[in-house]
Structure 1
Amino acid sequence: MTLDLEKKKYMSQMQDADNIAENWNNKPDLLEHSLKFIIDDCVIFLQRYLDYGRATFNRKFPPKVSLLQKNSSSPVLCHATGFYPAKVNITWRKNGQEYHEYVETGETLPNPDKTFQKHVRLKVKTEEWKRNQYSCVVQHKSLTKDIQKILTEDEIISNSSKCNG
């Protein structure tokens, strides 16, 4: 069933609905109410819902980034959380160059507050990260510049105590 706004009458799309269209067209109050809703109210409601949606979809929350390690022999996690929208790019760098060896990327997961979290794991021996500079770089739509966390002994020691207890 369609409502022809120019002819101001209901049009059936199937022969079986012709009787219904005729019945509705013979009820001027129903026809006037439908026309008013489509021409006036519907546009207002549609604009309101578009505004609500725009506010939701355009929101941006920057990630909070931490380096985490259970102990000196376990992998180092670069963990980003609390960000929205969900798309995020997390990479490890070794001496300023993108580094992909011994790196595992986790899935982007939802948080209860409708934000997201993700981690990228780097498995490297302690001697190796002491000889080189490793850094985690996080890129997200909410950021004007990338977040970079440099892997240092202080960073790992302070976070490993959080992981263990």
Structure 2
Amino acid sequence: MRTLIFVVLLGTGLHGAAAVAHSLKYFYTGSSGVPNFPEFVAVGMVDDVQIDHYDSNTRRAEPKQDWMSRVTEDRADYWERNTNRYRSHQQSFKVSIEDLKPRFNQTGGVHIFQLMYGCEWDDETREVNGFHEYGYDGEDFISFDLKTETWIAPKQQAVISKHEWEENKGLIANRRNYLAQICPEWLKKYVDYGRRSLLRTELPSVSLLQKTPSSPVSCHASGFYPDRATLIWRKDGEELHEDVELGEILPNHDGTFQTSADLKPSASEDWGKYECVFQLSGVKDDIVTRLDKAKIRSNEKNSLVIPIVIVAVVVLALVVVAALGFVVYRKKNAKQPPSPVTNPEVMEQLNPKA
């Protein structure tokens, strides 16, 4: 079971160019007691790219990608319908938090109620996987198993909901239909709308970095798209696992990604046997960077420059302070609907047919 996370503001994440697996996910987050944050936030994601946004402050569903303007070709009232759907869940999530507090013997404090649902579709195998999962205060609460058409309750407090929802055969049929049919259909449409953006590839620039001569050598790749990529170190053509620390794939401000892999070479005379290899999904050729001392960028080269800059800044600051002091001296002198937890009928609203 997946662990739900507190979705605040989602940046642009991206999934693969020539990747055959696509996903459509919706994240709803209701909060209580969180200052300076909307009590309800909803976002839609296609291949981990945010496509829309709604929160209790704006109270409107809004597109987050230019190509999402095409949705009105299939449904003219798309944005109005989604706005109304999000507003409905805003109210039900607020009631749900109040319903869950006594189950967990809680009163006040900060509490988070979440829902993640959607589907994954493989355009090569045609396999579809659906998911519908609730979380409370950062932990799994209850989820729907599409294969067995049952609800799984990892928390004792969720057992009552499990029994109620499994007795509602209409609810089960609704979830099965959405996850297995409607969701994949819309996912295919979204991928088609954003094909030019979602299915593109961009290769990174690769650099070798080292803080000091005794520090590990870092192979840093930045500017690649999509995020389905790997960065490894090899020696004599064999992939290394020891003395290698792999970094996470992180987003850049422009929608591309970056990652790094640190290597502790065994001996300086063997450096010519090492190479950093970047592989991007859908791209045939790898980017291979051989370990070469001459190509390593080190902080030591700039070690003498930093003190000089600091001194210059301090001197400039003193001059400015003195000048301002002189000027001052001269001037001185002259701002409800039923809960989805207790009422399973609300779950039927979780069907974004728009």
Taking structure 2 as the reference length, the TM-score comes to 0.31
Give how far 1:95 is off: 1.9
Aligned 1:107-146 pairs, distance under 5 A: 107-125=248-266, 128-132=267-271, 133-141=273-281, 143-146=283-286
Q: After the TM superposition, which parts of structure 1 deviate over 4 Å for at least 4 consecutive aligned residues? A: 43-51, 161-165
Give 3-state SS (helix, strand or coil) of 1:71's partner.
coil
Query: Do 1:85 and 1:115's aligned partners in 2 also have CA atoms closer than 8 Å?
Result: yes
Return the match for 1:81 from 219, 222, 229.
222
Return the match for 1:65 from 202, 206, 209.
206
- Amino acid across the alignment from 2:237: G
Query: Do 2:212 and 2:300's aligned partners in 1 also have CA atoms closer than 8 Å?
Result: no
Give how far 1:42 is off: 2.5
Structure 2 match to 1:6: none
**How far apart, in 2, do the equivalents of 1:160 and 1:86 lie?**
27
1:99-138 CA distance string (max 9 Å, x none): 111101111000000000000111225xx14225111011
Return the match for 2:241 from 79, 100, 108.
100
Structure 2 match to 1:9: none
1:56 and 2:197 correspond: yes
Query: Do 2:234 and 2:276's aligned partners in 1 also have CA atoms closer than 8 Å?
Result: yes
Q: Structure 2 stretches of 5 or more lacking a match?
A: 1-71, 79-185, 304-354
- Amino acid across the alignment from 1:131: D
Return the match for 1:42 from 74, 88, 93.
74
Query: Do 2:275 and 2:289's aligned partners in 1 also have CA atoms closer than 8 Å?
Result: yes
Q: Structure 1 stretches of 5 or more lacking a match?
A: 1-39
Q: Which entry has the higher C-alpha Rg, 1 or 2?
A: 1
Give 3-state SS (helix, strand or coil) of 1:59's partner.
coil
**How far apart, in 1, do the equivalents of 2:275 and 2:73 lie?**
55
**How far apart, in 2, do the equivalents of 1:134 and 1:99 lie?**
9
Give how far 1:52 is off: 3.5
Query: Do 1:104 and 1:120's aligned partners in 2 also have CA atoms closer than 8 Å?
Result: yes
Report percent identity of matched pairs: 44
Structure 2 match to 1:5: none
**How far apart, in 2, do the equivalents of 1:41 and 1:151 lie?**
53
